[in-house]
Amino acid sequence: MSSTRVLVLNSGSSSVKYQLLDMRDRGRLAVGLVERIGEETSRLRHTPLHSGGETRESAGPVPDHEAALKAVSAELAKDGLGLDSPELAAIGHRVVHGGKRFTEPTVIDDTVLAEIERLIPVAPLHNPANLTGIRTAQALRPDLPQVAVFDTAFHTTMPESAARYAIDVRTADEHRIRRYGFHGTSHAYVSRATAELLGRAPEEVNVIVLHLGNGASASAVRGGKCVETSMGLTPLEGLVMGTRSGDLDPAVIFHLVRVGGMSMDEIDTLLNKRSGLTGLCGDNDMREIRRRVDEGDERARLAFDIYIHRLKKYIGAYYAVLGRVDAVVFTAGVGENAAPVREAAIADLETLGLAVDAELNAVRSDEARLISPADSRVAVAVVPTDEELEIATQTYALVGRDRGAGSERVGE
């Protein structure tokens, strides 16, 4: 029997998203999500697509990522898709921080694990969850290749002028302080899919990608290569996010220590978990914020305005970086679903050739689509991201290459 299936695990700080795909047709056999890991109210949602089966939901505490993965494994087994299947070729993992070293998908061994662990201080919300996902999967299937696909990889093409902070070079080099960028798998997939939507080759088009999920980042992609992105050493820099502040005068931190008497850990928590939309108005979900705005809630209105103001600044900046822009594209939970965010971010940018058609913008769809008027100089688009498909594709390509032609024949 040939092994053509890939399980993809996207372990976030408090969730695990997963997909099982058959790489012969890149079809999804099962998809699911474990949310609110570590809380009393954890929830698992599993859909066995291969059998057209109903979505199954279960609630109850899932204490950590190891327990989450075991629960996922049990759900898959119920559909005969368990991790023990000989049809499984590999497990692909999203790993958020790969530092400077990992520019390509990588088969995980002890050295790779050690490097992901070394990078925990610069991705404290993400790399520990990624590591637990990998270790638990290794324990369940020690014989199977596990592949890491790094969020940072796509951004390694950024020129030094964009990647370096203007601080003392020796200090920066000693501590490997530079801008790495994140969500790269999404930026790569979406920029390519945008070129396809425009009917042009990726090498020909310049795109500004706005990945607006819970974490949010923008990138400027010239001819298929990233030249600038908004996240930096860590996923804290840049846009206003669900719970993260994004850009900030670094002196705010000195002030909070010296005048506010706060510890570094308290400030870390403040900026990563109690800031952004949550910090501004108490909610991080854009649906809830829009509902409150529509009811006339002033705090929610200000939070929304600050979110949009930052987004607009980045659109303008990346327009200038690229010089010529073919498309501005919205993706991820907010970008794909929140029409008011798209409308407000593009409003009053006609002089840049940017506009949104209200009717097209109001359409709800899972398809990649244009939302700019037909005569627009620059396309504005919504392109759903698919990090899991991209990770599966990269994982399968790598494992197929590594196994070589000979091993395929064994046992067939």
Ligand X SMILES: CC(=O)OP(=O)(O)O
Ligand Y SMILES: Nc1ncnc2c1ncn2[C@@H]1O[C@H](COP(=O)(O)OP(=O)(O)O)[C@@H](O)[C@H]1O
Sign of CA dihedral 314, 316, 308, 279: positive
Minimum Å gap between C-beta 43 and ligand X is 18
The site string for ligand X over 222-261 (x = CB under 6 A, - otherwise) reads -------------x--------------------------
Residues 176 to 195: which contact ligand Y by CB under 6 A?
A: none
Dump the DSSP string for 340-386. HHHHHHHTT-GGGT----HHHHH---SS-EE-S-TT-SSEEEE----
Q: Which does 151 bind (CB under 5 to 8 A by kind): ligand X, ligand Y, Mg ion, none?
A: ligand X
Residues 45 to 104: which contact ligand X by CB under 6 A?
A: 96
Q: Which does 287 bind (CB under 5 to 8 A by kind): ligand Y, ligand X, Mg ion, none?
A: ligand Y
CB atoms near residue 14 (< 10 Å): 18
- Contacting ligand Y (CB under 6 A), which of 130, 214, 219, 230? 214
Binding flag, residue 137, ligand Y (CB under 6 A): no
Q: Which is nearer to ligand Y, 14 or 106 (CB)?
A: 14
Pick from 22, 86, 90, 83: nearest CA to 50: 22
Measure Cα distances from 1 to 5, 117, 141, 401 in Å.
12, 36, 18, 18
Q: Report how far residue 381's alpha carbon sits from residue 61's, in angstroms, rounded to the nearest whole number.
A: 39
Q: Which is nearer to ligand X, 126 or 342 (CB)?
A: 126
268 carries an active-site annotation: no
Q: Label residue 314 exposed, middle or buried (CB < 10 Å: 0-12, 13-18, 19+).
A: buried
- Crossing angle of helices 251-258/264-273, nearest 10°? 130
The residue annotated as part of the active site, out of 151, 283, 326, 386, is: 151
CA terminus-to-terminus distance, the chain: 5
Flag whether 214 is marked binding. yes
> Using alpha carbons only, what angle is made at residue 217 by residues 212 and 220, rounded to the nearest 5 degrees?
115
Flag whether 286 is marked binding. yes
Number of residues located near ligand X, criterion CB under 6 A: 10
Binding flag, residue 183, ligand X (CB under 6 A): yes
Q: Which is nearer to ligand X, 352 or 389 (CB)?
A: 389
Q: Report how far residue 15's alpha carbon sits from residue 349's, in angstroms, rounded to the nearest whole number.
A: 37
Q: Which is nearer to ligand X, 12 or 224 (CB)?
A: 12
The site string for ligand Y over 264-303 (x = CB under 6 A, - otherwise) reads --------------------xxxx----------------
List, as residue ranges, the binding site: 10, 17, 94, 211-215, 285-287, 333-337, 387
Residues with a catalytic annotation lie at 151
